[in-house]
Structure 1
Amino acid sequence: MTPAARTQAAIDLLDAVTAAARDEGAAADTLIARYFAQRRYAGSKDRRAVRELVYLAIRSLGERPANGRTAMLALAAADPDLAATFDGSVHGPAPIGRGEAKAATGILPRWLAERLTASGLDDAEQAALVGRAPLDVRVAAAPAPDIPGAEPIAGLPQALRLPAGTDLAPYGAQVEPQDAGSQAVTLAAQAAPGMTILDLCAGAGGKTLALAAMMDERGRIIASDTDRGRLSRLPPRASRAGVSIVETLLLDPNREAEALVDIAADVVLVDAPCSGTGTWRRNPEARWRLTPARLDRLVGVQARLLDLAAMHVRPGGALVHIVCSLLDAEGMEQVDTFLDRHPGWIAEPLALPLGRPHGAGVRLTPAHDGSDGFFVARLRAPC
């Protein structure tokens, strides 16, 4: 592919990404994979160059652009070499017109920047939210594999940070991809052998499997979710990891209580649906999907799930609230309003290997902890 053809490919992909962000469609990674699956002629260098252009545009533009061309024009305004690829060649983009519109640069929509500032994140911490994420894994089977370039992560004995692009296929079930922050907040469950734990929003089960390892395969974990597709990925993962104490339970949306009626757990973990502001390094186009109305809906869902979870914590047991968000509405304020609604419940102090105290819980940020961003709180039920 010529440089101009690479630019046009990036424009085509950004057209798809912006449309998907508007219509709640597939993630950028998925769209890129589909695009090149249909274009086998593109070599590895071409694919890498186009992918880098697409993600540079996504990371550079906080507001969703009108289309892929306006996104690439914003980059070209600061890069003469890129601007030169708008040459009107057969496979390249049309020349840049006089006064042609381009997307405004800036890493965050104004309303989100204001919310994050109000939640205590300064400009440097906000900028770090759209940096590049490391490749972290959890060692899921002993002995730990010898992976070239792997580095331990302090306080997380099962965690390794690997060089970008490391191929995990040769290590099979020995490692599970899992961000260091995700591993750290799971420790708030204080899982131990013999416990009964309800993982209320288990998804594909990353935290579920970490809990099973903490329990040394003794006890019971009920992994539930309303998303059939995500939950269906958990049993094969558990089987590969040699985990046998996990039961999956598919829930009907808004009828979850009917399926959970007989469950009283030592710990209920709520890894709640959230804005994902803490995972923008991995999914930067998620900034283009979030709106104030969607955030309000998510806050409402989280409150409902916390109330549901509280019904299934045994007396004296614990509820762990986790969101991969740095917005106080989903973290600190969500916990405060839960405690107002549930007299007798208390927030317990947490000592985790990553993060800093924030309100009644602990917050992890990419700038401070080098991990994805999270808020976690451990709430104790009255006896």
Structure 2
Amino acid sequence: MTPPARTQAAIELLDAIIDAARAKGAPADRLIADYFRTRRYAGSKDRRAVRELVYRAIRLCGPVPARGRAAMHALSIADPDLAPLFDGSPHGPEPLVVDELPAPTGIAPKWLVERLAKSGIARDEAKALLERAPLDLRVNSLKASRDTIELPEQGSPLSTPQGLRMPTGLPVENWPAYRDGLIEVQDLGSQWACEAVAPQAGETIVDLCAGAGGKTLALAAATGNEAQIIAADTDARRLGNLRPRAQKAGAQIAETILLNPGKEAEGLSTLSGKADRVLIDAPCSGTGTWRRNPESRWRLDPAELKRLTKLQDHVLDTGAGLVRPGGRLIYVTCSLLNEEGANRFDSFLSRHEGWQAEPVPIAPGTLRGMGVRLTPYRDGTDGFFIAIARAPC
């Protein structure tokens, strides 16, 4: 593909991503993969170049662009080397005209920038949300150790017990260590969230919003398979991925429970008041993960945020019913908005008499309300809010 053809391909992909964002459709990664699946003529260098253009444009444009051409126009202003590629050549974009408007740039839509600022995320903190994310690994201590594992790339030790940071873009999924369950891809912030759970051997631990089980596997490894770990979720597809992942990792999961949305308590009735620890990695807006999913900020609107906060309250109340007297509930969200973090935890404590906030036992982070916040700018992690509540005895 010629450079102009790559630019036109990026415009076409941006059109699809913009339409999907408005319709809450497929994520950008899937759309890019589907696009090239039907264009076999595009080589690996072409695919990398087009993908890079697409994500540069996404990161640059705060509000949802009108169309992909406007987004690429904005990128050509930021990077003048791109402007000559609008040359009208075969398979390339038509030339830009004098009165053609570029897409507006910025961190996010205006209402969301304001919400972030009220939550203490502005200026450098906000800009860091759109930087490229690092590639972090967790060495699976059930099978290996960070000190002795041999990998194609050495990596840099992280502040967690088994964390490694690798150069971005390495094909770790093709490594034998990944295939054999010796390593997992897991952001440093997610690893610290698991450390905050502080799981102990012999305990009953419920991962209430387990998804595909990344944190579930980390908890099993941290306890040396000596805790009873139950993974639950309402998403059958994601939860179905946990069993094969656990088998590969050598992790013993006591039970996986597929829950009926809105009736989670019924599906968990046998665990009522019995769990030593309940981890709630709550569904959220994902503002803390924009480095990995920058187009997600185009999908969020006030109505969706309101829906998510109601869901978070519901999940917190459900989790509280599982905790034994004196047990702990650990609330985690990869959002940096107060509405989904400190405010939700404060609201939980106000609804549940006798519950007490406890210090979060991790080294990084800054205090936010009754919990701790991790941010890309200050901590080199995805954005997280973590808080712990202890049930009355």
TM-score relative to the length of structure 2: 0.95
Secondary structure in 2 matching 1:248: strand
Q: Which residue pairs with 1:75 in the alignment? A: 75
Matches within 5 A, 1:133-148: 133-140=133-140, 141-144=143-146, 145-147=149-151, 148=153
CA distance in 2 between counterparts of 1:137 and 1:201 reads 21
Q: Which residue pairs with 1:217 in the alignment? A: 225
Q: Which residue pairs with 2:21 in the alignment? A: 21
Matches within 5 A, 1:1-383: 1-140=1-140, 141-144=143-146, 145-147=149-151, 148-154=153-159, 156-168=160-172, 169-170=174-175, 171=177, 172=179, 173-263=181-271, 264-383=274-393
1:138 is aligned with what amino acid?
R
Instruction: After superposition, give the CA deviation of every residue in 1:119-164 in whole Å (9 maximum; x if it has no partner).
Output: 112310000001010000110121442232411012x111100111
2:24 is aligned with what amino acid?
E
CA distance in 2 between counterparts of 1:245 and 1:83 reads 55
1:336 is aligned with what amino acid?
D
CA distance in 2 between counterparts of 1:248 and 1:306 reads 19
Shift of 1:98: 3.0
CA distance in 2 between counterparts of 1:150 and 1:159 reads 9
CA distance in 1 between counterparts of 2:372 and 2:132 reads 23
Secondary structure in 2 matching 1:281: coil
Q: Taking structure 1 as reference, are residues 143 and 320 closer, same or farther at Cα in structure 2, changes over 3 Å only?
A: closer
2:60 is aligned with what amino acid?
S
Asked if structure 1 preserves the Cα contact closer than 8 Å seen for 2:138 and 2:183, the reply is yes
- Equivalenced residue count is 382
1:45 is aligned with what amino acid?
K
TM-score relative to the length of structure 1: 0.97
What are structure 2's unaligned runs of at least 5 residues? Answer: none
Shift of 1:353: 2.8
CA distance in 2 between counterparts of 1:143 and 1:73 reads 48
CA distance in 1 between counterparts of 2:317 and 2:299 reads 27
Instruction: After superposition, give the CA deviation of every residue in 1:324-373 in whole Å (9 maximum; x if it has no partner).
Output: 01111111111111111111000001231321221101100000010100
CA distance in 1 between counterparts of 2:78 and 2:130 reads 19
CA distance in 2 between counterparts of 1:353 and 1:6 reads 45
Which is worse superposed, 79-88 or 56-65? 79-88
Asked if structure 2 preserves the Cα contact closer than 8 Å seen for 1:265 and 1:317, the reply is yes
Asked if structure 2 preserves the Cα contact closer than 8 Å seen for 1:201 and 1:225, the reply is yes
Q: Taking structure 1 as reference, are residues 260 and 157 closer, same or farther at Cα in structure 2, changes over 3 Å only?
A: same
Asked if structure 1 preserves the Cα contact closer than 8 Å seen for 2:145 and 2:162, the reply is no
CA distance in 2 between counterparts of 1:217 and 1:125 reads 38
What are structure 1's unaligned runs of at least 5 residues? Answer: none
Which is worse superposed, 255-264 or 75-84? 75-84
Shift of 1:246: 3.7
CA distance in 2 between counterparts of 1:203 and 1:227 reads 7
Q: RMSD value over aligned CA atoms? A: 1.1
Asked if structure 1 preserves the Cα contact closer than 8 Å seen for 2:197 and 2:277, the reply is yes
Asked if structure 1 preserves the Cα contact closer than 8 Å seen for 2:246 and 2:253, the reply is no
1:96 is aligned with what amino acid?
L
